[in-house]
Amino acid sequence: MKRNTSIPYLIWASLVVIVLMALQSFVENGNYRYVGKSYVESDDFQQEMENFYTNFSTAILNPVDLEAAKKNIIVTSSEIEEHRTYYGTLSEQVDNIEEQYAERIADAEAAKKENLKKTLVEERDAKITDIRKNFESDAHVEAKIRADKERQLEQEWKDHIRSAKEQLYFPVAYELTDIQSGETFKTGDISVAAGYKKTFNKKEGYLRATPYPINDFDYDSYPSESVYEWGDSVFSNQEVTVATTPNHSLFMALESGQPQAVKRFEGTVIVPKSAMKEGQLGRNVDQYNRRLLGIYTLGGLGLLALLALASIMRFKKEWVTKSSFASRYDRLKLDLKVALLILSAMIVWGFTFTILHRYTWFFFQYSIENGLFLLLSFVALVFLLWATVFQLVLLVERLKNVETLEQEIRDSYSVKFLKALQGMFLNRKMGAQTFILLIGFFLAGIGFVGMFLDPFFVVIYTFCVLFLGLPALYIFVKRAAYLNRILVATEAMANGRLNEDIKVVGKSPLAEHAKNLNNLREGVRVSMTEQAKSERLKTELITNVSHDLRTPLTSIITYTDLLKNEELSSEERSKYVDILDKKSQRLKTLIEDLFEVSKMASGNLELHKQRVDLTQLLQQALAEHEEEISKSGLDFRVNSSDSPLIAYVDGQRWWRVLDNLIVNSIKYTLQGTRVYITLRKVGDTAEFVVKNITKYELGDNTDELFERFKRADTSRHTDGSGLGLAIAQSIVDMHNGNMKIEVDGDLFKVTVVVAAI
């Protein structure tokens, strides 16, 4: 029985997840934030107390002397000029005031309200007088600016003190004494049980209270050199100019070069223990303790899980290799396996932090929903880790088999993509154009996003779209339309419609493809025509062979039956025997010619070439048929030189060419006409020509006369196999010669050319 390996594997994965969570928890919290610390020792609480000491020093222990600060306010000449001309020149401001009051004074006068009129006139004159003083006296303007700055400075300082006192959300008791003046500041009871206690003295250090928090304001102008602390005082080595721009903060400065005292205090500051159990501080303490409990719990579980992994739950490779999923996983491509492994590992690492935070939140707020979500997250992480280790083990096993690994690399999507990319550039022009288009669309996407990030990119993006993107899009659409037309035409070709050419547009790779398809279409059309012709000739060949073989064979059978008659006379019997002999010879010749043509077509016929005098060979062939020529009533006109015409040929086979052409002319030349035979040397070749007037109408298709069993006598009344020209053509081809037939009406001309010596 096959053992189920999934359960121990899942248990192992669960233990590993616990160890990972515990490890991450320790890295994130154990070394500095929580482990071994109480809440009052935590960074959060310590930061709260640091803020308290800073604000407490400024607001209570060592507040700034506002009157001294007001005296240090400086008004510059540029500020005076800005204030003076803020609403325009003197004449512009006076005209503006008079326009503002003119209508109101006129209305009061019309309504006979003398008191109102008098008041408005006084207000107008006072404002005009004030404007005139602004342009007459710098001191007048300076006083107004200084008063405004003093009011703003006082209001900002009050706001700062109020904010400083409101920042602390839990009660603090303290009793602190200025070691120089002896002044004591006290609030609350420092003798109660303390959750937090801090003592300041000479041994442990005094509480140092600066006059104001240097970094608490957002200043508009700064001294050329920053304020620094030296010993017990804070110095500023240069005056600070107070900003006068509206809506900008003011800050105070002590008199140039004068030390601003830093006070030192001794005493005690506590946070009552009772405050640690109520309010926001109590909630913070409770959440901190819960988080600490969660960390300790997870650390303990992680340690137990680690011990289990090292002892009873050691990982076994068979859990993976013998799994039913292993064979399915092996079917995936290698690069897909690597990508899935990296992705799952990243998800496991990131999801571990997520579930760790969910685990911590569960200790903050106990609920069924949080517990259920934590459980589901844990189960999901276990399966993710299970899948990651599963892939890692199988991948390592695969790497051990070098041959299989090489084959998987060859079959991977990445290698196939590279091959496809290489194939894209088989036509470099087409590949380059496609690559440029892809890059263009990619950059267009980046530019579209960048347009929303920075308005400046709108101009660049618009320019690129108008002058690069739209032309490229037009070219792409045009090429796509042309490609579709080519595909439609190709489909028509595949369906047998070969009459229309594909329109060739331009000089692009698609145009070259269209041209090639047109050539292919023409080739297919010619091939189909030739095939149809071949089928027709094959049918005729079978018909003609059957006819030519059946005719003598029928005669032989018939006369054989007649010879069986015992009552035949000796003369009749001798006549029938002669007929049988003639038909037998006829059948023998036909079969021999058929075998010879078959040998020539298959290339099995061997030539025995030697030096042959073609002039003498022609004379022998004519002498062989001298009796037949004289009986035919034809006038043979032979034109050849008396000198030898030597060619390197197979004499027996070449005699067969001459013989077949002479016999052909005897059979198919119109009676009473002439037959012209010419043999001459033309350059390095020997040319043999036969011309005659045909007895039968040949038509225009002279190429079919070379076909086997094709005869000018379509009714097949003449003797002959119909193989004469076919045999002659084959012999000439075997000698690397050329044989051509020309027909002009009834004029029949055969020209044979072969290399001469």
Distance from the Cα of residue 447 to its chain's centroid: 17
Average pLDDT, the chain: 79
Three-state secondary structure readout of 666-716:
HHHECCCCEEEEEEEEECCEEEEEEEEEECCCCCCCHHHHHCCCCCCCCCC
Other Cβ atoms within 10 Å of 448 Cβ, number: 12
**In 194-305, which ranges are E strands?**
194-200, 207-209, 228-230, 233-235, 260-261, 263-272
pLDDT at site 100: 92
DSSP 59-101: IIIS---HHHHHHT----HHHHHHHHTTT--HHHHHHHHHHHH
pLDDT at site 701: 52
Of 121-125, 227-231, 312-316, 482-486, least confident by mean pLDDT is 227-231
H/E stretch holding 344: helix 334-364
Of 207-216, 396-405, 736-745, 747-756, least confident by mean pLDDT is 207-216
Q: Identify the CA nearest to 618 among candidates 676, 662, 666, 653.
A: 662
- Specify which of 28-37, 75-84, 293-302 reaches the highest per-range mean pLDDT: 75-84
320 contacts 393 by C-beta, under 8 angstroms = yes
pLDDT at site 516: 82
pLDDT at site 534: 64
Q: What is residue 257's three-state secondary structure?
A: coil
Q: Identify the CA nearest to 621 among candidates 573, 661, 669.
A: 661
DSSP 514-537: HHHHHHHHHHHHHHHHHHHHHHHH
Which residue is listed with tokens 């009796």?
Answer: 627
Judged on CB neighbours under 10 Å (0-12, 13-18, 19+), 715 is exposed
Which residue is listed with tokens 């899009």?
Answer: 473
pLDDT at site 253: 41
pLDDT in tens, 256-313: 334 457 899 999 999 999 998 888 899 888 888 888 888 888 888 989 999 999 998 8
pLDDT at site 225: 30
Q: Is the pLDDT confidence value at 337 over 60?
A: yes
pLDDT in tens, 141-176: 999 998 998 888 888 888 878 877 777 778 899 999
Of 177-186, 383-392, 398-407, least confident by mean pLDDT is 398-407
434 contacts 475 by C-beta, under 8 angstroms = no
Which residue is listed with tokens 């042309």?
Answer: 482
Which residue is listed with tokens 């500095």?
Answer: 32
**What is the average per-residue pLDDT within 373-389?**
85
Tokens of 381: 């992480």
Identify which has the larger pLDDT, 395 or 115.
115
Three-state secondary structure readout of 106-146:
HHHHHCCCHHHHHHHHHHHHHHHHHHHHHHHCHHHHHHHHH
Instruction: Please list, residue by residue across 666-680, b when 16 or more beta carbons sit within 10 angstroms of its beta carbon and e when fewer do.
Output: bbbbeeeeebebebe
pLDDT at site 231: 31
Of 158-172, 185-199, 426-440, 670-684, least confident by mean pLDDT is 426-440
**What is the average per-residue pLDDT within 44-53?**
88
pLDDT at site 232: 34
Identify which has the larger pLDDT, 671 or 727.
671
pLDDT at site 93: 93
Q: Is the pLDDT confidence value at 29 over 90?
A: no
Q: Is the pLDDT confidence value at 222 over 50?
A: no
- Specify which of 319-323, 603-607, 638-642 reaches the highest per-range mean pLDDT: 638-642
**What is the average per-residue pLDDT within 699-708?**
50
Identify which has the larger pLDDT, 530 or 653.
653
Q: Is the pLDDT confidence value at 219 over 60?
A: no
pLDDT at site 602: 63
- Specify which of 107-116, 149-158, 340-349, 693-702 reaches the highest per-range mean pLDDT: 107-116
pLDDT at site 159: 83
Q: Is the pLDDT confidence value at 697 over 70?
A: yes
The proportion of the chain whose per-residue pLDDT surpasses 70, expressed as a percent, equals 83
pLDDT band of 686, cuts 50, 70, 90: very high
Phi, psi for residue 427 in degrees, rounded to 5: -100, 100
pLDDT at site 236: 32
Tokens of 627: 């009796």
Q: Is the pLDDT confidence value at 365 over 70?
A: no
pLDDT at site 703: 52
**What is the average per-residue pLDDT within 445-463?**
73
Looking only at the bridges linking them, the beta strands covering 674-682 and 635-640 are parallel
723 contacts 709 by C-beta, under 8 angstroms = yes
- Specify which of 471-475, 594-598, 637-641 reaches the highest per-range mean pLDDT: 637-641
pLDDT band of 412, cuts 50, 70, 90: confident
pLDDT at site 755: 94
pTM flag (> 0.85):
no
Identify which has the larger pLDDT, 129 or 257.
129
pLDDT at site 749: 94
Q: Is the pLDDT confidence value at 235 over 50?
A: no
What sign has the CA pseudo-torsion 345, 349, 351, 352? positive
Q: What share of the chain is helix, strand, coil (3-state, %, to 5)?
A: 65, 10, 25
pLDDT at site 604: 67
pLDDT band of 245, cuts 50, 70, 90: very low
Tokens of 213: 């928090």
Of 194-203, 397-406, 715-724, least confident by mean pLDDT is 715-724
Instruction: Please list, residue by residue across 280-318, b when 16 or more beta carbons sit within 10 angstroms of its beta carbon and e when fewer do.
Output: ebeebbeebebbbebbeebbeebeebbebbeeebeeeee
**What is the average per-residue pLDDT within 624-639?**
91
Contacts of 680 (CB under 8 A, 6+ apart): 639, 640, 641, 645, 686, 687
**What is the average per-residue pLDDT within 402-424?**
77
Tokens of 150: 């003093």
Tokens of 394: 């199988």
742 forms beta bridges with 749
CA distances from 430 to 323, 373, 433, 506, 519 (A): 48, 55, 5, 14, 20
pLDDT band of 430, cuts 50, 70, 90: low
Q: Is the pLDDT confidence value at 473 over 80?
A: no
Q: Is the pLDDT confidence value at 667 over 70?
A: yes
Q: Is the pLDDT confidence value at 97 over 90?
A: yes
